[in-house]
């Protein structure tokens, strides 16, 4: 704090200007800072600590499902990028090119990886020979670069952090099962740790990853009714294997191509957390990834015994939750605003009168509820309250999504639903024709987000052309 | 394994060709694989798991000493790199330049970070205003790029993984204390976790980091008598602060420049582990960072009860050590060789006769010692044996270093010592003149490694010019 008397500055209200509200939070909760490198950002300690929690939990889930971490080079020679035609078409327009090493011009340009399928394929071709070498279940935690024109912190930046899983399998069935398994891992992570409900689905052909046979995704609905793709899992079939000649000798001594998958989530998840749970007082963090789960604020700290008791509570709770004691000389009012801004799930206040009565006050960040808790019950209550905050956040987000999901049977219904209720998910039937997909977007402004895995029948004709249709699509405006 | 009948191929003997022995190990222990990107490598699961252990331990030590992790962009605009004169002179000749984003030529070239002082400085200037904002104790785990001409896995590659700590402080004293603290953290890590004795010292002026006032280092002696710089910690004074205008208002309301440090270790540590502990059977891993600390090998696995007992032992030990059970159908001989190659600290053999006698055989990788251990004592014995392996490795490495450290008073003595005993550390007095430093290297082949923090007086004249000298220097051939 540069000045302990300064006030925590108010942020723009969400209803007034959602985009401004968002950037106010990322700056004022000290998640990021801009740099002189356009489209790139510093992830500050508080923001990075959220990412470390995300990493730790997900990495554990990956390892439990048999995956191993590796590290690939950050550069891809141009000729390697070009080996799979769809892939290079999808990525070449948005890569950064290294052309000089020191003062020497390179013989071949290298791109900074936008994603690493090509590098993994080259490696797999080198190390896989027999069915005994399969499957390979690899992952890496790195940053990638995509030369985006317009950028927004966490949501779209030229460099971002992510994990990318890359696996190869002896059969298509196994690879498809892996693709589905990882989609489920992401779903569990988003719902059980980030308190963020997601729709599992499959992208339409026009929206697939460059080079994929099928792209599965999880889609979440933000506070403003826009959709955010929170994670993807791709099935490649043997397309890359053929382009990179990744073969193995099967049990019958026959040469076969491997079947491949890749899957990833990014620091975008932090943007999703902000826009799912945040409010006009700032960030609201799901307890599982909050760097501080409970902040202890001594009240009337100059009175004898208060600081000592606050420190004692910290010691008592530190094995149970991530606890911070703020015994700085900032005012209680300032501290309340500061830790609300930072989205700390629980605030514990302890003052002279509380001490007399062997109690404290705990305030929930998600709904402002104040609870008087006996100091003897703290160790039991804190985990219960953290769980209650998680559940409260999930239910609130789910209710928001349900309120903002509109089943529509005609283009007119779509337009009317969006106008009357604001942006949200549109559920509507689709015939499968790309022309209809494009026209829905052109006319109503919502694009296809996914074909949900849980299909429902809400009609039998295409929302656009009126011809027979048996596919339910979620449509929405996207981040 | 492509073929369970294949033999684990022997590696080149260390005495025959040390460089070949080294590359044989990195390949055959499956630590790395080469790629089509010259000078870059794939770190494979077994190699990366070692790095993950190094990261986990060091990261804990950094956090215990109050440091926070952040993430900076990987790109540095050319104008930013140029702000500190010594720094740009040191690094510009070896950076990779990005000149195109997609098909558009960039207005300003961006280099891929070779190190991130300039980015941290820009950030510090943005966020620091008052003495209340100090210190900032930051670290990041990333990869950096230096366009080296000749490369060797882990030791010198164009891209490598590291951590870089960057801190700013209100006073020079605090910054110097930080520089020393982190040198001590590195020393503790190398000695207590990697079982690698190091000499703490300070670089001579000619060998300082580009832009530093003082560079401290830890130097280790490899099996072949060559020196390896295992970590560095730099004190910058206020040089960078002046170049980047990083000021703060002190308690007397006066503008002051901050004092800065940086410090780092890299994946080179894995190279150091190989060359400190490895032998002609392969890798030998210090238990603290070994991905597998104990491998269980069932003997006569087809006999009833053997596999069941082996699995039972795994369950029993898995909370105590990182345990792998290899119940594959590869032969015991193949498995012995394989896990020796992989440097697994302990091998546990269990067969029908062992089971009858309620015992097993444990073999230490560091010295080949075989111990018969009662199954009732396993949980006690395994941690003791892991500690014994660590201590054994440390003592062996220390003895090797002591045997290969030669105190010399003349150039002739240096030449004779190296000729008679092979490469090693030379301890010799130095007058402080750079010309003498250069001449020692030119004539004898050994360069100055450091002025050890523990100075001894082994003479009073310079080993080169014969003039009065009060500085002891460690000299050696370097990796």
CA distance B394 to B419: 27
Q: Does position A375 have pLDDT exceeding 80, yes or no?
A: yes
Secondary structure element (H or E) that encloses residue B411, with its range: helix B411-421
Q: Residue B4 has what pLDDT? A: 41
User: Chain B: nearest CA to A440, how far in angstroms?
Assistant: 30
Q: Does position B5 have pLDDT exceeding 80, yes or no?
A: no
Both B318 and B260 in a single domain?
Answer: no
pLDDT, tens digit, 9 for 90 and up, residues A38-93: 999 999 999 999 999 999 999 999 999 999 999 999 999 999 999 988 888 889 88
Contact B277, B284 (CB under 8 A): yes
Both A469 and A323 in a single domain?
Answer: no
Phi, psi of B103 (to 5 degrees): -100, 5
Q: Is B121 exposed, middle or buried, given 0-12, 13-18 or 19+ CB atoms closer than 10 A?
A: buried
Could you say which of B354, B387, B420 is where a domain stops? B387
Secondary structure percentages of chain B, helix, strand, coil, to 5: 40, 30, 35
Give me the residue from A33, A69, A143 closest to B45, CB to CB: A69
Contact A213, A235 (CB under 8 A): yes
Q: Is residue B395 part of a domain?
A: no
Q: Residue B2 has what pLDDT? A: 39
What ipTM describes this predicted complex? 0.96
Q: Residue A318 has what pLDDT? A: 95
Could you say which of B355, B387, B419 is where a domain stops? B387
Give the best residue of A55, A67, A89, A96 to mutate against chain B (max B CB count within 10 A). A96
Q: Is residue B315 part of a domain?
A: yes
Q: Residue B7 has what pLDDT? A: 58
Give the best residue of B96, B117, B161, B255 to mutate against chain A (max A CB count within 10 A). B96
pLDDT, tens digit, 9 for 90 and up, residues A296-312: 999 999 999 999 999 99
Both B53 and B174 in a single domain?
Answer: yes
What's the structural domain count of chain A?
Answer: 3
Task: Kindly report the CATH number assigned to the domain that includes residue B434.
Answer: 3.30.110.30
Q: Is residue B373 part of a domain?
A: yes
* Mean pLDDT computed over every residue of chain A: 96
Could you say which of A388, A421, A439 is where a domain stops? A388
Both B263 and B306 in a single domain?
Answer: no
pLDDT, tens digit, 9 for 90 and up, residues B131-190: 999 999 999 999 999 999 999 999 999 999 999 999 999 999 999 999 999 999 999 999
Both A163 and A235 in a single domain?
Answer: yes
Q: Residue A10 has what pLDDT? A: 82
Q: Residue A8 has what pLDDT? A: 62
Q: How is residue B305 written in tokens?
A: 């009860």
Both A380 and A435 in a single domain?
Answer: no
Q: Is residue A12 part of a domain?
A: no
Q: Residue B87 has what pLDDT? A: 85
Residue ranges of B 228-267 with Cβ closer than 8 A to chain A: none
Q: Is residue B196 part of a domain?
A: yes
The side-by-side arrangement of strands in the sheet containing B68-69 is B68-69, B136-145, B159-169, B259-266, B227-237, B214-221, B199-202, B447-452, B471-476, B425-430, B405-407
Q: pTM of the full predicted structure? A: 0.96
Q: Is residue A395 part of a domain?
A: no
Q: Is residue B284 part of a domain?
A: no
Both A86 and A228 in a single domain?
Answer: yes
Secondary structure element (H or E) that encloses residue A162, with its range: strand A159-169
Contact B220, B190 (CB under 8 A): yes
Q: How is residue B151 written in tokens?
A: 């490369």
Both B111 and B174 in a single domain?
Answer: yes
Q: Residue A1 has what pLDDT? A: 38
Using alpha carbons, select from A161, A173, A188 the residue that is nearest to residue A65.
A188
Both A330 and A236 in a single domain?
Answer: no
Residues in A closer than 8 angstroms to B129, CB to CB, are 2
pLDDT, tens digit, 9 for 90 and up, residues B197-240: 999 999 999 999 989 999 999 999 999 999 999 999 999 999 99
Q: Residue A2 has what pLDDT? A: 40
Give me the residue from A1, A70, A75 closest to B44, CB to CB: A70
A342 falls in which pLDDT band (50, 70, 90)? very high
Residues in A closer than 8 angstroms to B91, CB to CB, are none
Q: Is B56 exposed, middle or buried, given 0-12, 13-18 or 19+ CB atoms closer than 10 A?
A: exposed
Q: Tell me the DSSP string of B217-232.
A: EEEEE-TTS-EEEEEE
B1 falls in which pLDDT band (50, 70, 90)? very low
Contact B93, B146 (CB under 8 A): no
Q: Residue A3 has what pLDDT? A: 41
Both B92 and B150 in a single domain?
Answer: yes
Phi, psi of A236 (to 5 degrees): -100, -5
Tell me how many residue pairs between chain A and chain B have CB atoms under 8 A apart.
168
Task: Kindly report the CATH number assigned to the domain that includes residue B356.
Answer: 3.40.50.800
Q: How is residue B294 written in tokens?
A: 């104990």
Q: Does position A5 have pLDDT exceeding 70, yes or no?
A: no
Q: Is residue B7 part of a domain?
A: no
Both A379 and A413 in a single domain?
Answer: no
CA distance A256 to A236: 15
Residue ranges of B 145-174 with Cβ closer than 8 A to chain A: 145, 147, 158-159, 161
Q: Residue A425 has what pLDDT? A: 98
Both A77 and A162 in a single domain?
Answer: yes
| Structural domain harbouring B84 | 18-277
């Amino acid at each position: 704090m540069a000045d302990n008397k300064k006030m925590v500055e108010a942020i723009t209200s969400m209803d007034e200007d959602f985009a401004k509200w968002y950037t106010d939070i990322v700056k004022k909760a000290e998640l990021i800072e801009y740099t002189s490198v356009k489209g790139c950002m510093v992830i500050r300690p508080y923001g990075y600590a959220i990412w470390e929690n995300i990493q730790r939990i997900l990495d554990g889930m990956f390892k439990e499902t048999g995956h191993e971490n590796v590290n690939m080079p950050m550069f891809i020679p141009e000729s390697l990028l070009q080996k799979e035609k769809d892939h290079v078409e999808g990525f070449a327009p948005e890569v950064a090119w290294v052309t000089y090493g020191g003062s020497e011009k390179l013989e071949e340009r290298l791109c900074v990886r936008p994603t690493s399928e090509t590098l993994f394929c080259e490696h797999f071709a080198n190390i896989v020979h027999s069915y005994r070498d399969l499957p390979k279940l690899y992952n890496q935690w790195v940053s990638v670069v995509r030369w985006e024109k317009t950028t927004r912190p966490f949501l779209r930046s030229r460099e971002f952090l992510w994990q990318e899983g890359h696996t190869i399998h002896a059969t298509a069935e196994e690879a498809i099962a892996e693709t589905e398994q990882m989609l489920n891992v992401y779903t569990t992570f988003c719902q059980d740790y980030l308190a963020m409900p997601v729709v599992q689905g499959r992208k339409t052909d026009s929206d697939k990853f460059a080079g994929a046979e099928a792209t599965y995704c999880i889609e979440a609905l933000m506070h403003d009714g826009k959709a955010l793709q929170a994670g993807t899992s791709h099935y490649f079939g043997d397309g890359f294997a053929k382009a990179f000649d990744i073969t193995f000798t099967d049990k019958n001594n026959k040469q076969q191509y491997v079947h491949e998958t890749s899957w990833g989530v990014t620091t975008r998840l932090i943007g999703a957390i902000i826009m799912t749970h945040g409010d006009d007082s700032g960030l609201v963090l799901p307890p599982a990834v909050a760097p501080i789960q409970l902040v202890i604020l001594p009240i009337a700290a100059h009175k004898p015994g208060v600081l000592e008791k606050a420190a004692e509570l910290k010691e008592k709770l530190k094995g149970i939750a991530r606890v911070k004691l703020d015994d700085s000389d900032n005012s209680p009012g300032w501290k309340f605003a500061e830790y609300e801004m930072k989205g700390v799930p629980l605030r514990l206040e302890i003052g002279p009168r509380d001490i007399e009565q062997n109690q404290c006050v705990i305030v929930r960040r998600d709904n402002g509820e104040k609870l008087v808790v006996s100091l003897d019950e703290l160790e039991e209550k804190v985990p219960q309250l953290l769980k209650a905050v998680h559940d409260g956040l999930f239910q609130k987000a789910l209710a928001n999504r349900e309120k903002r999901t509109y089943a529509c049977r005609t283009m007119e219904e779509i337009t009317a639903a969006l106008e009357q209720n604001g942006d949200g998910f549109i559920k509507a039937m689709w015939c499968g024709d790309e022309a209809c997909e494009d026209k829905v977007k052109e006319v109503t402004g919502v694009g296809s987000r996914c074909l949900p895995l849980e299909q429902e029948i809400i009609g039998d004709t295409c929302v656009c052309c009126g011809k027979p249709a048996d596919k339910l699509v979620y449509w929405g405006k996207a981040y």
